[in-house]
Structure 1
Amino acid sequence: MKKHLLASLMIAMAFTNQLDAKNVYVKLSSDTEAWSHITQDENNVVVEITDGKFNGILSNIAAKDRVWVAKGIYQVTGSINLNEDRAGVQIYGGFKGNETALEQRILKDQDENGIVEPWEFEYETQFQGNTDTDPSYRIFTMNAEGDVVDGITICDNTNVNDHGAGAYLKNNAVLSNCIVRNIKAEASKNSAVNGAGVFVDGAGLVKSCLIENCTNQNDDSDGSSYGGGINIQGNKSVISNSVIRNNQVVSGKNAFGGGIFLNNSAVAENCVIYNNSSVFRGGGVYIHNNGGKLINTTVVKNMGAKAGGGVFSNGNSTIYNSVFWGNVNEQGNANNLNLNQAGYVETFAYCGIQGAGIWMENKNLNTNPTSYQLIESNDFTEEVTEGLAPRFICPTVEAGIGYEFLEGTLEAIAKANWGLLNASDLVDKGVNTIPDYTIATTDICGNARPMGQKYDLGAYELGSGATGITTNQKEQSRFTLVANSNGVTVYGIEGLAKVNVYNTSGALVKSVQLGNGETISLIERGVYFLSVSEGETSQSGKILF
């Protein structure tokens, strides 16, 4: 009994005290262990779902409640509306069911791209919709201040003639640490859809999310589709630290923004936008009439059939510290950035662009940008004899979306790693400050910027693509690797351990025997792979020195 009371007290302390709010712990009835440590009272309620349908327990959730949903697949049978009676509700997933704090949720490199990303929970909580069109609905409607959805995989849903089939955000709602996957929006002639996966309408934050395999489709000859992965609008709307891949817009007339559609000064920062497609304009990004900002974005291997394989800017745009590479049109020609007659790039500073990829339909590039850097090369990984190269860790080969019937394409997209190798010419090529904008001091993985004198171009600071998030969360990790000014210190050794150090090319740099808390010295700065072995226990890790 004392154990149960102590656990309940710890969990209650983990929540922000809110008047009349309670903690709701949700699990499937087949999960006999989840939330067994909770002592129920008026402030802590455990809810079991016997039929797998999440909507059936919504009556248990009131305004400002915090909801922890244990691992499993939950069926969504109608839109989950976080407004009015449920305004300010916070829904969290990714739990095994024995946690007492959000930070205890375990992360794992699920897509095997070498990065442990903040949406990759070992114990996945899936909210599945309906892939049929009757009935059709979006999964989450988040209309109220304080609404939060975090750690949920929002997937497998089709919605007709409505925006954001995965999630709709307004009034400063927050979507974080989530996966939005396999979402489809269908529209008729007079019902253009804004954002298949996510629609941010005026004010909202999407942070540390993966948006993939979403389709915005209108088959009418005069139809329009705006944003395959996400449509984000408003000067208080931001998407940051996120990956947008393998999404598409399809329509008979206006198909804009396969990955992202930006409008009304919305911001995309520290994002990787790759292998998206549009049958018309803006394979990766479409910036509409009222403009938008791209800050430290990596826009690569997208396909815009008619124009703007990487970015099509139709409005006043601010672009800093970004890289545009390998984006093409339907003929396979380089088409990284297209500036339309209706708009211009207000500030285009310190960006790396693959050569022969800039198109200005009416020469409307502002003649007074601060500065910009043109990097010319088609090479992704190998040494080149002239020009410069980005040298990404593991880029994709083909541009545009992948297909199930093309063996290996979807796997290659999932395993791509757009972090930078040591020799990348994108390192230290950016700026550390931006006029009238507070630039993030961390990269997509949460690691500090700048590592050198200046920001690196794109979403990853050097080393992040190998290191992943700052803390590699593993249930059974024994050894801890800590970089310092002299090298790497290893903790968790019981006697003596053998430590091998490799560079990014796989060559052995050093091999030593270490005791607990001892440091293996390094001289050259860079990314290293370490293997620590003691007895039958072995562990490897990547670290930036």
Structure 2
Amino acid sequence: MKKLFTSVVALLFYAGANAGVIYVSGSGDDGKSGASWGDAMKSIVAAMNKANSGDQIWVAAGIYETDQTINYKEGVSLYGGFSGNETSVDQRERANAAAEPWKFSHETIIRAVNGSATSLRLFDRVDKDAIWSAEALFDGIVVDGHKTSNGRVGYFKEKVTLQNCIFRNCSAASGGSITYFEDGGKVLYCLYENNATVASIDLRNNKVGENRDRIYVEGCLLQNNLYTPIKAQTSNTSDEEGDETILIKKTTIRNNSYEITGTTQNGDAGAICVHNSWNNRWSVIEDCVIEGNKIKGWGGAAVFVKGGSPVLINRCIVRNNEYRRSESTWRTTGGTMHDMGGGAIVANCLITNNGGDDNSVYATLGVYMNNTISHNEGPVTLENGPTMINNIIDQDVARTGTAEVYTYFNGVAAENELFTTADDNVVISDFGFKSPTSFIGLATDDTKKGELQQADWSLSESSMAKGKGNVDIIIDSFDETVYAKVSNDLAGNARPSSGEINLGAYQEDAGVSGIDDSKVEGQANVYVAGNKVVVMTSSTGTLEVYTISGICVQEALLETGENTFDIPAQGIYLVRVSDNTGMTVRKVIVK
């Protein structure tokens, strides 16, 4: 049974309090009123034409083929995933809402007629120059097999949210994208799978001033797509100073591939490409998992940064990505992480077991702080003096020679550019990780892939990296806004701790969340161990585990003592324990 916290229920109630509902069913008729499931309309286009701001369109399961663009409207929400008898959007069925929030038991699928190649843009907005104030929501919609020569499957702007949606087996020609967002909008808990176009999610923020919204991506899964899954670009240099313009967080990008030939390309990525030329605003990538992606061509297998304005890559896991040159002798500056613009801050990241040609990390200027860079094929290459603080660089296989770190200035090797130690960083052969992989480079078979998933790169108690970081330089290097973002480790633990800071990505154990998990006298103790939640209680009681969107994914009875429960997927959860001491609520992170 699904439950929602009161605050979430209140939000849903507020959103629908004054809304009219227009019902759509494959067995309906556009001549009907759409006022009930029994009087449902047949086409989404007709329902959208009928809708006014504040209305909701509920679409029953089925395949809806259209030869017309769905021109969505301000303040109109489009919901799918209904069996055809529900009286609330919360009654829609999902087998595993925590791990796969986009997967409804009854799919509402939209595409062009016969799903064939067409010039049809599936979703568009007529009033592109208007500034919207009311939200438009797409929730529980599946776009499957839509192939367009138009350039974009969907065009979206500010005040539009895609939530719990699937885009699969789609393509867009002419250098296009599956979903294009301009100057605002959100993509929340969506799946992009088996698409083939230049960008599955294309984020552009070009406006200045108060009419510009942040573009926000959270909780998504992008897998098995061809070309770059996420492109993020800002292109205005005159805006006032402010917070992040594009935010990508808690998103998994895996097993995508990009292959191009020749030596004329301008650089791209197997996972995320950021082109930031907005001087005073940030693009932020945080709490993401980037793994198993491949690129053949110049750029980065995981992340490629162009443009000189700031990009923050924080608390990300980057592993098992593969980079290959398109030509054997062309441009040796590519790698897993490639910062061409020099505006990147990379902090609290775990970069392990990546491989291919050239480098594990190629950095031009920028700041690299408290990262663990280990067991990669390819060295760390630094050009024109990037700042390296409190990193662990361990057992990375050099491209040539024996060094794990190379430095260059203006493209020319500095005198004796190979070194094995650097200020506030340590490069040695055995760092005291708790359970690193037994192999260096890519996980090429199921055994190695399983080992990679179970590896623990946090530090043993005897590690020489414990408490050896430079605290003062961290505090002095960033303004308050950036410092607040980078002052927690990969698992969420606060840095520094007791006045000390470790080298590398972890301040504490990898499985401990560090978010509000301290023991309170007289209350149950809740903590994370791997992918399990452990509850210590002095009496019997009950457990409830909620996703961050408020859905209850687990309920159980508690016995006195230690209770252990599996968590179905990575993410942030709210754990509520009721026993004879009262109620204990804790946030935990499962990584």
Question: Residue 375 of structure 1 aligns to a residue in which SS?
Answer: strand
Deviation track 1:393-430 (CA, whole Å, cap 9, x = no partner) reads: 56473413x55xx3445455555554555555544444
Residue 367 of structure 2 is matched in structure 1 by 318
Contact 2:109 2:141 in 1 (8 A): no
Shift of 1:183: 1.7
Higher strand share: 2
Number of residue pairs aligned between Structure 1 and Structure 2: 415
Shift of 1:363: 2.4
Identity %: 15
Counterpart code for 1:53: I
Aligned equivalent of 2:314, options 247, 269, 272 = 269
Deviation track 1:199-248 (CA, whole Å, cap 9, x = no partner) reads: 11124221121111122211235555422211113252121121211212
Residue 233 of structure 2 is matched in structure 1 by 201
Output aligned runs, 1:512-531, within 5 Å. 514-516=538-540
1:353 has 2:396 as partner? no
Give TM-score scaled by structure 1 length.
0.62
Question: Residue 162 of structure 2 aligns to a residue in which SS?
Answer: strand
Output aligned runs, 1:145-156, within 5 Å. 145=184, 147-156=185-194
Residue 223 of structure 2 is matched in structure 1 by 181
Question: Residue 258 of structure 2 aligns to a residue in which SS?
Answer: strand
Counterpart code for 1:358: V
Shift of 1:260: 0.7
Contact 1:271 1:298 in 2 (8 A): yes
- Aligned counterparts of 1:449 and 1:127: Cα–Cα separation in 2: 39
- Aligned counterparts of 1:461 and 1:286: Cα–Cα separation in 2: 26
Aligned equivalent of 2:183, options 144, 147, 166 = 144
Question: Residue 433 of structure 1 aligns to a residue in which SS?
Answer: helix
1:296 has 2:345 as partner? no
Instruction: Give structure 2 stretches of 5+ with no counterpart.
Output: 1-5, 20-51, 63-80, 92-103, 114-121, 207-213, 235-244, 326-332, 396-402, 542-555, 568-587
- Aligned counterparts of 1:365 and 1:271: Cα–Cα separation in 2: 32
Residues 9, 488 of structure 1: alpha-carbon distance in 2 compared, 3 angstrom cutoff: closer
Question: Residue 511 of structure 2 aligns to a residue in which SS?
Answer: helix
Question: Residue 109 of structure 2 aligns to a residue in which SS?
Answer: coil
Counterpart code for 1:303: G
Residues 184, 428 of structure 1: alpha-carbon distance in 2 compared, 3 angstrom cutoff: farther
Contact 2:200 2:230 in 1 (8 A): yes
1:534 has 2:534 as partner? no
Counterpart code for 1:168: L
Residues 28, 540 of structure 1: alpha-carbon distance in 2 compared, 3 angstrom cutoff: same
Residue 257 of structure 2 is matched in structure 1 by 215
Residue 75 of structure 2 is matched in structure 1 by none
- Aligned counterparts of 1:446 and 1:61: Cα–Cα separation in 2: 43
Contact 1:82 1:89 in 2 (8 A): no
Residue 163 of structure 2 is matched in structure 1 by 92
Question: Residue 52 of structure 1 aligns to a residue in which SS?
Answer: strand
Residues 169, 372 of structure 1: alpha-carbon distance in 2 compared, 3 angstrom cutoff: farther
Counterpart code for 1:174: Y
Counterpart code for 1:295: A
Residue 344 of structure 1 is matched in structure 2 by 385
Question: Residue 462 of structure 1 aligns to a residue in which SS?
Answer: coil
Question: Residue 524 of structure 2 aligns to a residue in which SS?
Answer: strand
- Aligned counterparts of 1:268 and 1:227: Cα–Cα separation in 2: 15
* Worse-superposed segment, 423-432 or 9-18: 9-18
Residues 54, 15 of structure 1: alpha-carbon distance in 2 compared, 3 angstrom cutoff: farther
Deviation track 1:230-287 (CA, whole Å, cap 9, x = no partner) reads: 1113252121121211212202xxx221111123232212222222222244432111
Counterpart code for 2:564: Q
Question: Residue 232 of structure 1 aligns to a residue in which SS?
Answer: strand
Deviation track 1:75-94 (CA, whole Å, cap 9, x = no partner) reads: 555534343xx53201222x
Deviation track 1:25-84 (CA, whole Å, cap 9, x = no partner) reads: 6663474289632599xxxxxx9997612689847999543425239785555534343x
Contact 1:174 1:206 in 2 (8 A): yes
Higher gyration radius (CA): 2
Shift of 1:357: 1.0
Deviation track 1:293-345 (CA, whole Å, cap 9, x = no partner) reads: 21222222222513x2x2112x222122222212223xxxxx2x1124xx321
> RMSD of the TM alignment (CA)?
4.7
- Aligned counterparts of 1:232 and 1:435: Cα–Cα separation in 2: 23
